[in-house]
Amino acid sequence: MRLINATVRLGAAGLVLLAAAACGSSSDNSATASTPSQPPPTTTPAKTEPPAKTEPPATTEPSAGNGCSPNDTKIPANAKTATTADLDLDGAPDTLWLADVSGKRTLGVKTATGATFSTTFTSAAPQAATAIGQKLAPAGPAIVLLNTGRSVSLYDVVDCRLVPTTNAQGNPYTFDLGFTGYGTGVGCVRNDTGFTLVGRLSTPAKSGGGHQVTQTEIVLRDFGRQARNGTTTTLAAHAADDSDVEKQAHEVTCGPGTPVSEPQS
């Protein structure tokens, strides 16, 4: 699997060498004056070598069908696993897992090709974490949402690694789940080409009762390494407590996949 959206441009400059020679004649009556002057030396233009061939720049955009190369890393014996979406773009579903590895909370992926990779995380929330993965439209990036109870961390699957997606300030991009007032849930909306990641916020309606529910599209850049808030739309102005739109505003989902739950010690 190759990296995405970082293009290296190489340029070459030619070196022009100029050679010149001068020849003079003597006007005095010395003995050397009677010596026939030598013809001016012949100058041969400097030979310039053609520019060295350069390999085409490595692309950073994964291509469908590549997948990750298999390795010898195993899923920990105590891990909880779940089948997830195609995270390495080889066309086959992969496996998402959570485990305790030597006292470190660990989120990992095992691809259908046999590659296993992981990252560790921490959280002050008391509940077990859950995770769900998805390939977004139309051919990536692939993401993993790690729900630790109070917030959801966004990871990008690129170059066969789990990479934390960053916000405009360069910090890990996280979704709030109602603790700071910026959001209450996360979802993936299906459209004509696949899934789009969104954040949802439910707040009490300013008047008339019920809840105002808004949805903000998350714009992913650099093949998922960066995330920015996009367009916000209002889904409901006075949603009832038991309405579907209000319930969805408090969920963490991303398509039809089943989340994996962290094992309890």
CA 71 to chain centre: 22
Q: Which two tokens stand for residue 198?
A: 């969104």
| DSSP per-residue letters across 152-172 | EEEEEEETTEEEE-B-TTSSB
Domain boundaries, the chain: 128-260
pLDDT digits (tens, 9 = 90+) for 176-210: 999 998 999 999 999 888 999 999 999 999 999 99
Amino acid identity, residue 119? T
Looking at residue 191, its pLDDT comes to 87
> What's the gap between Cα 235 and its chain centre?
29
Pairing, β 116-121 against β 104-110: antiparallel
Side chain identity, residue 231: T
The more confidently predicted of residues 240 and 53 is 240
Q: Residue 145 in contact with residue 200, Cβ under 8 Å?
A: no
pLDDT of residue 61: 53
Which range (7-11, 47-51, 94-98, 250-254) has the least confidence? Answer: 7-11
> Rounded to whole angstroms, how far apart are CA atoms 172 and 150?
15
How many CB atoms neighbour CB 205 within 10 A?
15
pLDDT grade for 26, boundaries at 50, 70 and 90: very low
- Judge contact between 124 and 178, C-beta under 8 A: no
Among residues 116, 133, 161, the alpha carbon closest in space to that of 2 is found at 161
Residue 38 pLDDT exceeds 60: no
> 68, 62, 80: which is closest to 111 by C-alpha?
68
Would you state the pLDDT for residue 165? 98
The confidence score (pLDDT) of residue 139 equals: 82
Span 236-260, average pLDDT = 96
Q: Which residue has the higher pLDDT, 90 or 47?
A: 90
49/163: higher pLDDT:
163
| C-beta separation of 107 from 121 below 8 A | yes
pLDDT in tens, 130-158: 999 999 988 889 999 999 999 999 999 99
Structure confidence at residue 21 (pLDDT): 34
More confident residue, 52 or 148: 148
With cut-offs at 50, 70 and 90, classify the pLDDT of residue 60: very low
Residues in Cβ contact with 211 at an 8 Å cutoff, skipping those fewer than 6 apart: 202, 203, 204, 205, 236, 238, 239, 240, 241, 246, 249
* Percent of the chain scoring above 70 in pLDDT: 75
Over 50: is that where the pLDDT of 105 sits?
Answer: yes
